[in-house]
Amino acid sequence: MMRAHMYAAQYGNHALAAETMAAIEVGRGLDACGQCDTCKASCRHSVQISNKLGHLRQIVASGELRV
């Protein structure tokens, strides 16, 4: 999902982001996430995972990215 966020948010390549999201098995994508403010995921390289997933949710909800 981090890669899909990168394609959509940083590169503006929504087609590649959608393709990446489509390759994620059901139950392991955004549908597996709960509330971003309760997310316990952490990255040893200081990537703000819950922020990026929240932003990806916004992109999908806006219709810019069709999954």
**Structure tokens belonging to residue 61:** 């909800």
Q: How many domains would you assign to the chain?
A: 1
pLDDT at 45 over 70: yes
R_g (Cα) of the chain, nearest Å: 11
In a domain, 32, yes or no: yes
53 and 5 Cβ atoms separated by less than 8 Å: yes
In a domain, 30, yes or no: yes
The residue written with tokens 């994620």 in the block is 24
Confidence of residue 64 (pLDDT cuts 50, 70, 90): confident
51 and 36 Cβ atoms separated by less than 8 Å: yes
pLDDT at 67 over 80: no
pLDDT at 58 over 80: yes
Q: Identify the domain containing residue 21 by its residue range.
A: 2-62
**Structure tokens belonging to residue 30:** 């955004």
Q: What is the mean pLDDT of the chain?
A: 89
In a domain, 39, yes or no: yes
In a domain, 67, yes or no: no
